[in-house]
Structure 1
């Protein structure tokens, strides 16, 4: 069995220990580089220490106690990262709220999480206030934006220093005056509903200048709950996953042990930070290794590509849908440039693929410099994708283009990373070797080695919040976490994901069909952007696979321009059906989709960008 280990463990057990342990020779390095309306706001490691200490200090004087729950919602930005770390630094529990949930879903989580306050941006404060009267447990909203009308009005009305209103024009000076006044009070911001994030920073700073350091008295234990993550389940109400300081730091340690990382790494975080995966790979891992965090608040290409270029992004956490769109987008843009450009590109692609397949030599960086430059990826080391499998053809194609793409596997309940490929340890179709500090096994494997994936180690959650029975269903007496995922492990220890137990299609003849296997084949088509395969009831055959696909209209549009022909709905369906026959030619007959539906719109997805499979399930 191979072991994926390139570095020694750092053995950091709490966020307090991590922040206070930043290397003194790294304090001048940028920890955060966030895009603002004025340009870029850079926060060094030394300044990050100050922000975390000051805001944490202010929270403690405001009455926050160890174990208190504090919500956090907003687009990716420096303030989000600082707030996350400050909350856990003082022993409180952060509750990252999903920005894509409905007002009703958010309300359910806020009311059932026992949160007492929420850090938020203006955009999501508006959403929260839709249900303000039903959030009686929330006493305060700590607001990021300096021009938020609720914050300006509240602070102007509640300030007692009699020096006038707070406005966007006088914010820099006036907020400090208010904050200094509040630092002298027994309970700062006691009557405020919308205090400013920057006011808390200034109040905590003034307190320390006055030798009032409250966080030093607050001991943090490794088993204290750091984060409460509410999973976006497809059925029923979301469950709160309790992750301790030790869970999260243990997981980050496993990641840095398995992949060579350093302060030269610039982590561009495109995925919403409220998910466990981007917060691990976009906050905890970079901070543990003194990397640079680049929070990006938009997935629009005209927004994030210039930021990637400006900041020299080198490591990018991603999900399969993002990787597939980047890959297929490259080919669509080439096709749109005409026949000559397309021929030259495909010739270079074939040459690069030959060298990669035959000699294991990557020449794509030299051949496709313009592609990397056009995506803002001149410094790219790797994408690292989680949340589902990526079709092998896409992975191989990204390698040929020298856009190195690693795959990982895990769940919120495992903090989340359990296994990952690396630039040096990679196997086609696999999600890699288990992290060196955890155990992975296959429970009751069948004749093909497939069985439920079980995980054990320091990154397995404490349990589900207020749900001991649900916890007992997934963590057995021997501390193995039962994932509900199906997989197999080869002779070298590489893990392969084959599906979800609940997604299996069972034919009348007792054959098991894994929808994910078929979906990965369909997604190799340049004409298919998204696909989901479900079990459909058939009177004679029992359950049979049925495919729903969303066409890649970008590619089809490029073909229309090239061929000077307009494709009808019937033409598009015929094109896709023909390609599906090609792609499934080597499949066992019972695995070939017995029906097809073309969706004119993108398939509905969860906030993790995975298709909501349950919406398509056959009700018969």
Structure 2
């Protein structure tokens, strides 16, 4: 253990030994909470005298940070509500001796137990109180995943504040919006890079009292700026009773977490999540995905996706506490190539990625296979084709033919081990729809990607796929205890997906109009997504209402299926964006797959190996995006036109045919502003950026 980690651990241990003895003593007096089935549970009070856990209110929503809501407890969802602290105490009682968090320091993995984890969260909570954290004000956290991120998030909740993540890619202006809107008293930052952003805006944050840096040494000592070691010592003189009184006053229907939307359709909104939203979802959504309690099998996961996003936060942080999971923290450059190294060392039992992560993994595997010797390449290609065919022909639970088993044991098991998936049983994809080509590629590796569907406003997953709830191209079934209805159903069975359950959020912070707009008259959360369910209750997302294109002729056109069809026909296309709202015909912006600069994460002018290979198969010598733009490469130009013609041939009407297109000079990216932090297309931003190109499509009509 490094000196910094040792010092931190000793500080936590020294100040909390007495309190831990009280916790352990109370644990012995009460039976542990246990699950009798997925829909019913008993929650122990762990010997801790708690006041009534729910504030009596009648409204299902609020926009005030200090507000309370009526919980959606009914016959489908009768579980006793608990706070985050109660959930953690249950965890310590059952799993206190087990390893909880693993961090790599000086090439060595260092682990702490759940008991140590709990003590460090209490210590962080006391230090926040010492710095002046006020009730229902926020602790904003700006940095890559780490144990300090976890301690800060949980500690903020223990201390009566609101845990608020900020995307690491945010500009200073975007950081200012979140910190000011959430009334941040303390901002916890990772390093000098993030500190520089906050120093630019701190004078315009009226509630800010301190900044804490958790990685790297402070380059310059500034007023109210603390290193992590300094911070963790600040609360040593705060009595246990002071913190315990705050904890015992907390109610399950009060806010404890703020998740800010990525701002793809406007300014980011602060999604208010209650203790019950967090604790109920962590328990029930994860079990719907077949995550196991540690007393049966301790799950191992790798934390690398942005914790400011609800998917990663529920999966990594809160579910980890609920079921006693061991969380390995990836390196900050995980998405630049080091993730696979962490996966190999951690050998997770479960893994989650957003579609772009799975796509990048697919592209890397394809590149590696293309570089193999002839015989090995043929063997891998054969094995993957056998696996894909078997997985498409047989259901997941059906016995596969001998040839599949041979290919799997001879080739595919080794491939999965090279990816770090030798012991992985569950593979999840969320945050955005995944392309069928990516889905089928991983079936070729005998990896079933389980899609989930939800939103920040539903505390993450409202629908889950898993080993026992699986259907191709579906997001799975509604989490037991939750409900769904499809509103305003059209002739094809599609309508707006509306959600009800204990996972539904409290409201948008300080935004009454947007909050009222989010619910229908009966209190159902209106997702804005179009979808349909089959006879067995599996959900299929078909589009998004706000993305729906309504042509000048009045025809409704969902863009995503058409965009996906173009990318299937033209695998060297990275992004395809359909245009045509209030226009007489449809047009499309295209970008080509290219090499990404691993330092800046910006797209370069160099074509990706996959794109180069495609060009070579056509007889083209193009190696750069600039070789293609402006119609310079006639062969590739014709290939694009032919691919779009094939898509048009399957269109349901003339109005859904793509009439014009253009290849842009640069791929879309987060840094460029075309994609949001979770890689979702920011359509309004793209339209604004490429206004001139779009207008060129329709200029002749105006003459």
Over residues 36-87 of structure 1, what are the superposed CA-to-partner deviations in whole Å (9 max), with x where a residue is unaligned? 3453332211110110111112322443233222211111111111111111
Q: d(CA) in 2 for partners of 1:315 and 1:125?
A: 33
Over residues 233-278 of structure 1, what are the superposed CA-to-partner deviations in whole Å (9 max), with x where a residue is unaligned? 2343222111111112122222133122233221212211111111
C-alpha contact (below 8 Å) 2:101/2:113 kept by paired residues: yes
* Alignment of 1:245 onto 2:275: yes
Query: Could you tell me which residue of structure 2 aligns to residue 43 of structure 1?
Result: 112
Q: d(CA) in 1 for partners of 2:638 and 2:188?
A: 51
Q: Could you tell me which of 124, 140, 156 is aligned with 1:71?
A: 140
* Alignment of 1:595 onto 2:623: no
Q: Could you tell me which of 598, 610, 613 is aligned with 1:555?
A: 610
* Alignment of 1:298 onto 2:333: yes
Sort the Cα spacing of 1:250 and 1:341 in 2 relative to 1 into closer, same or farther, 3 A. Answer: same
C-alpha contact (below 8 Å) 1:277/1:416 kept by paired residues: yes
- Higher deviation after alignment, 139-148 or 457-466: 139-148
Tell me the secondary structure at the aligned position of residue 368 of structure 1. Answer: helix
- Higher deviation after alignment, 392-401 or 216-225: 392-401
Tell me the secondary structure at the aligned position of residue 595 of structure 1. Answer: strand
Q: d(CA) in 2 for partners of 1:538 and 1:56?
A: 53
What displacement does 1:381 show?
2.0
Sort the Cα spacing of 1:574 and 1:268 in 2 relative to 1 into closer, same or farther, 3 A. Answer: farther
Q: d(CA) in 2 for partners of 1:577 and 1:339?
A: 33
C-alpha contact (below 8 Å) 1:547/1:597 kept by paired residues: yes
C-alpha contact (below 8 Å) 2:159/2:243 kept by paired residues: yes
C-alpha contact (below 8 Å) 2:134/2:185 kept by paired residues: no
C-alpha contact (below 8 Å) 2:426/2:466 kept by paired residues: no
C-alpha contact (below 8 Å) 1:408/1:431 kept by paired residues: yes
Query: Could you tell me which residue of structure 2 aligns to residue 33 of structure 1?
Result: 102
Aligned residue runs from structure 1 range 536-547, under 5 A: 536=580, 542-547=584-589
Query: Could you tell me which residue of structure 2 aligns to residue 188 of structure 1?
Result: none
Query: Could you tell me which residue of structure 2 aligns to residue 398 of structure 1?
Result: 442
Tell me the secondary structure at the aligned position of residue 370 of structure 1. Answer: helix
Query: Could you tell me which residue of structure 2 aligns to residue 418 of structure 1?
Result: 462
What displacement does 1:419 show?
0.7
Query: Could you tell me which residue of structure 2 aligns to residue 258 of structure 1?
Result: 288
What displacement does 1:330 show?
1.9
Q: d(CA) in 2 for partners of 1:509 and 1:484?
A: 23
- Higher deviation after alignment, 590-599 or 213-222: 590-599
Q: d(CA) in 1 for partners of 2:199 and 2:363?
A: 40
- For normalisation by structure 2, the TM-score amounts to 0.76
Q: Could you tell me which of 207, 215, 227 is aligned with 1:137?
A: 207
Q: d(CA) in 1 for partners of 2:393 and 2:101?
A: 41
C-alpha contact (below 8 Å) 2:592/2:667 kept by paired residues: yes
C-alpha contact (below 8 Å) 2:137/2:162 kept by paired residues: yes
What displacement does 1:547 show?
4.5
Query: Could you tell me which residue of structure 1 aligns to residue 532 of structure 2?
Result: 488
What displacement does 1:18 show?
1.2
C-alpha contact (below 8 Å) 1:269/1:316 kept by paired residues: no
The runs of 5 or more residues in structure 1 that have no matched partner are: 155-191
Tell me the secondary structure at the aligned position of residue 34 of structure 1. Answer: strand
Q: d(CA) in 2 for partners of 1:48 and 1:584?
A: 57
Q: d(CA) in 2 for partners of 1:481 and 1:576?
A: 41
What displacement does 1:101 show?
1.4
- Higher deviation after alignment, 64-73 or 268-277: 64-73
Sort the Cα spacing of 1:61 and 1:389 in 2 relative to 1 into closer, same or farther, 3 A. Answer: same
Tell me the secondary structure at the aligned position of residue 575 of structure 2. Answer: strand
Sort the Cα spacing of 1:431 and 1:62 in 2 relative to 1 into closer, same or farther, 3 A. Answer: same
What displacement does 1:409 show?
0.9
The runs of 5 or more residues in structure 2 that have no matched partner are: 1-36, 44-78, 595-607, 669-673, 688-693, 699-703
C-alpha contact (below 8 Å) 1:269/1:317 kept by paired residues: no
C-alpha contact (below 8 Å) 2:484/2:498 kept by paired residues: yes
- Higher deviation after alignment, 212-221 or 80-89: 212-221
Q: d(CA) in 2 for partners of 1:51 and 1:584?
A: 59
- Higher deviation after alignment, 357-366 or 261-270: 357-366
Query: Could you tell me which residue of structure 1 aligns to residue 388 of structure 2?
Result: 353
Query: Could you tell me which residue of structure 1 aligns to residue 242 of structure 2?
Result: 214
Q: d(CA) in 1 for partners of 2:468 and 2:567?
A: 26
Q: d(CA) in 1 for partners of 2:611 and 2:165?
A: 39
Q: d(CA) in 2 for partners of 1:404 and 1:227?
A: 32
Sort the Cα spacing of 1:212 and 1:257 in 2 relative to 1 into closer, same or farther, 3 A. Answer: closer
Sort the Cα spacing of 1:529 and 1:62 in 2 relative to 1 into closer, same or farther, 3 A. Answer: same
What displacement does 1:554 show?
2.4
In the TM superposition, structure 1's runs of 4+ consecutive aligned residues that sit over 6 Å from their partners are: 560-565
RMSD: 2.6
Q: How many residues align?
A: 572
Tell me the secondary structure at the aligned position of residue 439 of structure 2. Answer: helix
Q: d(CA) in 2 for partners of 1:312 and 1:257?
A: 21
What displacement does 1:146 show?
5.0
C-alpha contact (below 8 Å) 1:35/1:77 kept by paired residues: no
What displacement does 1:25 show?
4.8
What displacement does 1:446 show?
0.7
C-alpha contact (below 8 Å) 2:356/2:679 kept by paired residues: yes
* Alignment of 1:223 onto 2:253: yes
